[in-house]
């Protein structure tokens, strides 16, 4: 089975930054779209999901059109970006430059959005 564009985007993110150990991507409805690596460490994934829940509860989508959060623990840092379309979360080692991680995450989110728009145009052209 060919990987989805979301899975490919997260794989690319892991190639951009060797510091990222886990990346997760959700749609606006909270459905998990992709994970990289697919069998990421369970404890990191649990921490990631908890941070997403807390962000959703503390900052509803209507109040914050785009949200960036980072949270540190002794064993790493969790970075979260949420916009109207998606939520992306990355887990890294402790010694990283947050600005670079957020930059790479935003770049991949832009690429995912452009790919979705191109697919929409392609489907519209085929339907006509």
Q: pLDDT tens digit string along 38-61?
A: 766 666 667 777 777 787 788 776
Q: How far apart are CA 126 and CA 128, in angstroms?
A: 5
- Give the number of residues written for the chain: 128
Other beta carbons within 10 Å of 44: 18
> Check: CATH 3.30.450.30 for 5-127?
yes
What are the start-end ranges of the H helices in the chain?
5-16, 42-58, 98-127
Statement: the pTM of the whole predicted model exceeds 0.85 = no
Phi-psi bin for 121: left (phi > 0), alpha (psi -120 to 50), beta?
Answer: alpha
Average pLDDT per 10 consecutive residues for the chain, totaling 128 residues: 76 91 86 80 69 77 77 87 88 90 94 83 78
């Amino acid at each position: 089975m060919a990987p989805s564009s979301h899975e490919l985007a997260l794989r690319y993110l892991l190639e951009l930054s060797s510091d990222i150990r886990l990346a997760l991507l959700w749609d606006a409805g909270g459905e998990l779209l992709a994970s990289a690596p697919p069998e990421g460490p369970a404890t990191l994934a649990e921490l990631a999901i908890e941070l997403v829940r807390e962000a959703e509860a503390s900052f509803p989508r209507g109040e914050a059109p785009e949200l960036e959060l980072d949270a540190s623990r002794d064993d790493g840092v969790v970075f979260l970006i949420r916009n109207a379309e998606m939520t992306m979360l990355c887990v890294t080692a402790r010694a990283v430059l947050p600005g670079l991680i957020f930059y790479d995450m935003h770049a991949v989110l832009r690429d995912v959005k452009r790919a979705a728009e191109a697919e929409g145009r392609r489907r519209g052209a085929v339907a006509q």
